[in-house]
Chains A and B, each alone.
Chain A
Amino acid sequence: MKTVIEIRNLEKRYGSGAGQVRALEDVNLDVQAGEVLALMGPSGSGKTTLLSIMGCILQASGGSVKVNGREVVGLRESELPRIRLTHFGFIFQSFNLFPALTVRENVAIALELRGTPRREARRVADRLLADVGLADKASRQPADLSGGQKQRTAIARALAGDPQIVLADEPTAALDSVSGKTVMEILSSLAHDRGRAVVIVTHDPRVLGFADRVVRIADGRIADEATEAAA
């Protein structure tokens, strides 16, 4: 399998001097295309920081992060949006949909950012919404959707740019068991049927059943790594 993210000796520090906090220390990790990787650990362990650095949302303090072979540590701030746009799709715990836009427009906006003409963006958005079972909700506002439907809309938006890597932060935390299972089935299918790398930060033990690999983080370090069978 192709390695899409390669992390070596990663460090992340906040603050300076005596008040400095080491959020991540000596993290080494590879993420493969076609796998679901779960990052687990207690609150404050550094898993969301790691996800943010993987997604080029946060800059590392040291070490190396390669995304599809390209080193992203040390890149200028202005270069990061293009990297995020090209390689990543993001899914958030609180869905982060735009309440003023319809469901279709929420997906289409991710294409608008890529310069896709509006008509084409709406066409692609409709297709993506059909893929996640929301074809009939395209004209609704996010406020009219259930939590599971909102998260599926967010998944459709994350896939709008056809990214190789999907990063999800607690995607099932705000969902009931049925909706959570549906969302995980979609994410699992993305990895196993369509070859995407899916990295999920979670506390939710329901996710473990869908993960190919589980990486546990404690105090900013990788404490344990296990494959699906072992987990």
Chain B
Amino acid sequence: MTMLAVKNLLHDKVRLVVTLTGVIFALVLIAVQFGLFLGFLETSSNIVERSGVDLWVTAPGLPHVNGGSAQPERRRYKVLEVPGVAKAEPYTLGFGNWKLPSGAKESVQVVGYDLESGMGGPAELVAGSGNALLADDSVIVDEHYRNKLGVTALGQTAEINNVRARVVGYTRGMLSFTTAPYVFTSFKHSQRYMNLDRDQTIFVVVKLAAGADAQSVKRALKAALPDSEIFTNSEMAWKTKSYWVFSTGAGITTLMGAALGLLVGIVVVAQTIYAATMDHLREFGTLKAIGATNRYLYRVIVEQAVLSAALGYGVAIVVAMAVVNAARNGDALILLPPRVAAGLFGLAVLMCIAASVISIRKATRIDPAIVFRA
């Protein structure tokens, strides 16, 4: 690294602080907004991705996994007839009203699954057991939402759509993309909570036999059930993600926030680097006069930009991690995996280099004869 790049950057402390503030602000904004986006992606479809289901059989016109409509439960017998299907069970997922002991109401998403197969049930239980759901009116909620649902202890009762519900366990990590927490119960109980007839289900979920090809079985199911729609688990996950994240505009908004952060960062850093270049214009002229090539001037400016990026990134990543940790107690999941954190450094460097382009043009076009003006 050239002496001049480092020394010039550190010489003007106020300008350095302004530059770094711009870089840090932009990077934290990008990290948080992009982390929110990743959190949206994760939470919008975690109920599908953690379900252990291979194929989903639904009524036609399903917009996303949370928007299913009732279909006859007996369809699962037709499903079971299709070669390659090992298990087919009813499964419900739909919105309901949770009535707190205080009388207040919260929206919840009732998940009803077959207790014997466990397909679509909670991935991680931290209190209670799945078997406890065999008891009448029993439900399991996620520990994250205990306060929201007014649950202070196991055994506590509430109501879902005016039907009694007793909390018998807690899950972990089943965060909801919507404001409505997931409440797990047995399929039979879920029919009562969701006012379904005894022969109705929302989904038939399928476990494939060992070695069966999902797409082949899907085609066979489609042929056997022309009035149903069939999705593989990844198709259902993507359908749900794309609906919540893109169709509702939630994802686009967070991505635009991240893009705005990038833009703000480029503008702020460009302004400070440009101002610094203008302040040092005579020095660049002197450099050219005493024999520096334009390449050397590029180097000085780009090195200053990269150094600003590195210093700014160091602080920004600490702030971003603090925000991510703080968000763990809130309803919005912010994810900052190592790959994204590393990518953010690359982005910081690119942002600062992009911000220095105008300065580079200015510096390399200086007439070295400027040095002869007193």
Contact = CB atoms under 8 A, between A and B. Distances in A.
Contacts of B10: 100
Contacts of A118: 3
Interface string A64-100: 0000000000000010011011101110111010111
Nearest to B9: A100
A96 B371 contact: yes
A35 interface: no
Interface string B268-307: 0000000000000011001111111110100000000000
Nearest to A53: B369
A212 to B, nearest CB: 23
A52 B293 contact: no
Contact of B286 (A82, A93, A96): A96
B368 A109 contact: no
Given A81-B293, A113-B291, A57 B369 contact: yes
Contacts of A158: 290
Given A52-B372, A170-B374, A85 B2 contact: no
A154 to B, nearest CB: 10
A101 interface: yes
A58 interface: yes
Given A58-B369, A93-B374, A96-B286, A85 B3 contact: no
Contacts of A52: 369, 372
A112 interface: yes
Contact of A84 (B290, B369, B372): B290
B3 A82 contact: no
Contacts of A169: 371-372
A132 interface: no
Contact of A98 (B4, B288, B296): B4
A48 B369 CA distance: 9
B154 to A, nearest CB: 66
B371 A90 contact: yes
B7 interface: yes
B291 A82 contact: yes
Contacts of A55: 289
A126 interface: no
A110 B374 contact: no
A211 B2 CA distance: 38
B371 A99 contact: no
B291 A84 contact: yes
B279 to A, nearest CB: 10
A153 to B, nearest CB: 13
Contact of A57 (B12, B289, B374): B289
Contact of B290 (A51, A85, A105, A173): A85
Interface in B151-195: none
A169 B369 CA distance: 11
A165 to B, nearest CB: 13
Determine chain B's interface SS by DSSP, over half rule. Answer: helix
A2 to B, nearest CB: 22
Contacts of B51: none
B300 to A, nearest CB: 10
A82 B294 CA distance: 11
B11 interface: yes
A84 B289 contact: yes
Nearest to B368: A57
Most buried by A among B8, B286, B292: B286
Contacts of A93: 372, 374
A105 B282 contact: no
A114 to B, nearest CB: 8
Given A110-B290, A113-B296, A101 B371 contact: no
Given A58-B369, A169-B372, A90 B3 contact: no
B11 A100 contact: yes
Contacts of B374: 93-94, 170, 173-174
Contacts of B296: 113
A10 B160 CA distance: 97
B4 A101 contact: yes
Contacts of B282: 96
Contacts of B12: 100
A157 interface: yes
B372 A48 contact: yes
Interface string A199-216: 000000000000000000
A100 B289 contact: no
Interface in B204-250: none
A100 B8 contact: yes
A104 B292 CA distance: 18
Interface in B1-26: 2-4, 7-8, 10-12
Given A92-B371, A113-B296, A105 B7 contact: yes
A138 interface: no
7 contacts: A55-B289, A92-B286, A92-B371, A96-B282, A98-B7, A100-B4, A105-B7
Interface of B: 2-4, 7-8, 10-12, 282-283, 286-294, 296, 368-369, 371-372, 374
Given A90-B289, A112-B3, 9 more contacts: A52-B372, A92-B286, A96-B283, A98-B7, A98-B8, A100-B12, A109-B3, A109-B4, A110-B290
